[in-house]
Amino acid sequence: MAYLNPVRHVSFDAHDPYALALFWSRLTGYAVTDEDAPDDDEVLIESGQPGVPGLLFLRVPDDKTVKNRVHLDIQPPSGTRDEEVKRLLGFGARVVDDRRTEDGMGWVVMADPEGNEFCVERSAVERGLV
């Protein structure tokens, strides 16, 4: 029997679900569907691969006020961690905490345009996985 991932979506509260979906689409490479529009209250982006959870952005009126209780750890599939950090800064992310170490290990805590934290770890290439 094939494994079926029980996680269907990872959901994010957002003031502007469409704009936040576009940010995460650029980060992950997941597609925003043609069915989604800028004024939608829910926007889903998906990888197109079976069993990989999509990211769902839901319109909420309240502001984010405290640290996330759950966050995503991003491992770039190519390039380096530092190149990915630079790329994401260009999309509107910001650095929250820099946990890189002199020996090249560690990670960078970043926030998306609405303040949701995520970590950028060493890439698959840097880990020798590809």
Domains of the chain with bracketed CATH:
8-62 (3.30.720), 69-129 (3.10.180.10)
Q: Is the separation of the CB atoms in 67 and 109 below 8 Å?
A: no
**What's the pLDDT at 41?**
96
Q: The sheet that has 42-46: what strands, in order across it?
A: 9-14, 54-59, 42-46, 31-32
Q: Is the separation of the CB atoms in 28 and 75 below 8 Å?
A: no
The pLDDT of 9-23, averaged and rounded, is 96
Residue 1 has pLDDT above 70, yes or no: no
Q: Is the separation of the CB atoms in 46 and 91 below 8 Å?
A: no
**What's the pLDDT at 54?**
95
Residue 129 has pLDDT above 70, yes or no: yes
